[in-house]
Amino acid sequence: MTSIRSLAGACLAALASLCAVAAPASAQNYPTRNITMIVPFAAGGPTDVISRIVTAHMAQTLGQSIIIENVVGAGGTTGSTRAARAANDGYTLITGHMGTHAASVPLYPKLAYHPEKDFEPVALLAGTPILILARKDFPPKDLKEFIAYVKANAEKVNAAHAGIGSVSHASCELLNAILQVKPVGVPFNGTGPAMNALVAGQVDYMCDQIVNAVPQINAGTIKAYAIATPERNPSLPDVPTTTEAGLPAFQAQAWNAIFAPKGTSPAIIATLNAAAVKALDDPNVRKRLLELGSVIPAAADRTPEALATLVKNEIAKWTPVLKPAT
Ligand code: ASP
């Protein structure tokens, strides 16, 4: 006669296999098809470039293509809204950043998503120092002259940015608040196209992430007045820090990171995080990111938990800076 104990054992085993069948197939052998990575800005800008470098390596690890989809508009909040509302099955992700996942909170009272409540943090990809850049024939020769010039010509000068709440917008808002100027803002769908306008001399200046700027500065097609970090950047050894150049109050470094829609399974998040971390340890990926001036996150800063803390801290940091601008 079957003992109670063996019956219970058989029942448990049956239950376990039932659970295994019921578990979403996507979490078991993820990924089984292409992954879409939303980049909420135009192709060729910093977020796009960093995403492409890192996801090309992640795709090899994951054994599936990662297709970049540039969903532009409203300072990156259009693409971020799309990502927040996507299925949480690991097949739609977003590269968000200091703008979409922090600065946009105080700037958009009706933001359709909340960076902390509507996303699962996956991995920080790169820190991106901010530079004060200008068209190459902009009259000021150095940062001191730049400050005097924009103050004296406040109504005439314009500043390009990638839409309200983007990094270029938020960091120039900080600069403008320090200088007490209000230049005319010229919005683009990303600083890729904004950089083209700067190179063409169609706009005066811009606060941009380093990734976009290194090739142009080195080619002499634009001017760089200063980098807003405590140290100079190895990829731009001749560009002074804002402290060296006389404006120590202006400190700004952005960041780009992968997020998944809220509720994406922990197993999928762990798989994606491991692939991102592996990419950041790859010598070729590192070389390309470093050549463009990015700061590669240390091991302790690469976990989903560390990214959650960064988002929380960045919202707290940018809210008082940007609130008066709304
Ligand atoms: N990260 C944006 C881009 O890739 C620009 C920005 O946020 O300023 O174009």
Using DSSP's 3-state secondary structure scheme, residue 86 falls into coil
Res 17: pLDDT? 44
* CA of 162, closest atom in ligand 1: 8
pTM as predicted: 0.91
Per-residue pLDDT at 142 exceeds 80: yes
* CA of 75, closest atom in ligand 1: 7
* CA of 169, closest atom in ligand 1: 8
Per-residue pLDDT at 260 exceeds 50: yes
The DSSP bridge partners found for residue 208 are 131
Backbone angles phi, psi at 259, to 5 degrees: -130, 155
Res 154: pLDDT? 85
* Confidence at 323, pLDDT banded by 50, 70, 90: confident
Task: Count H helices and E strands in the chain, helices first.
Answer: 13, 9
* Tens digits of residue pLDDT in 191-203: 999 999 999 999 9
Pocket, ligand 1, Cβ cutoff 6 A:
41-42, 45-48, 97, 99, 162, 166-168, 190-192
* Confidence at 27, pLDDT banded by 50, 70, 90: low
**Of the listed ranges 67-71, 77-81, 261-265, 321-325, the one predicted with least confidence:** 321-325
Q: Which among 191, 198, 207 is the best mutation to test ligand 1's pocket, defined by most ligand atoms within 8 Å of the CB?
A: 191
Cα 166 to ligand 1 centre (Å): 6
* Confidence at 204, pLDDT banded by 50, 70, 90: very high
- CA-based end-to-end distance of the chain: 77
Q: Which among 50, 133, 166, 210 is the best mutation to test ligand 1's pocket, defined by most ligand atoms within 8 Å of the CB?
A: 166
* Confidence at 28, pLDDT banded by 50, 70, 90: confident
* Tens digits of residue pLDDT in 87-107: 999 999 999 999 999 999 999
Q: Please tell me the distance from the alpha carbon of residue 268 to that of residue 40, in angstroms, as a whole number.
A: 22
* CA-closest candidate to residue 191, choices 162, 167, 170: 162
Which helix (H) or strand (E) segment is 226 a member of? strand 222-227
Res 155: pLDDT? 86
Cα 77 to ligand 1 centre (Å): 11
Q: What is the mean pLDDT of residues 98-126?
A: 97
The 3-state secondary structure of 26-83 reads: HHHHCCCCCEEEEECCCCCCHHHHHHHHHHHHHHHHHCCCEEEEECCCHHHHHHHHHH
Mean pLDDT of the chain, nearest integer: 92
Per-residue pLDDT at 229 exceeds 80: yes
Per-residue pLDDT at 325 exceeds 90: no
Q: What is the mean pLDDT of residues 147-173?
A: 96
Cα 196 to ligand 1 centre (Å): 13
* Tens digits of residue pLDDT in 274-318: 999 999 999 999 999 999 999 999 999 999 999 999 999 999 999
Per-residue pLDDT at 151 exceeds 50: yes
* CA of 42, closest atom in ligand 1: 9
Cα 190 to ligand 1 centre (Å): 5
Res 26: pLDDT? 56
Which two tokens mark 224?
Answer: 């760089």
* CA of 170, closest atom in ligand 1: 8
Per-residue pLDDT at 11 exceeds 50: no
Res 15: pLDDT? 43
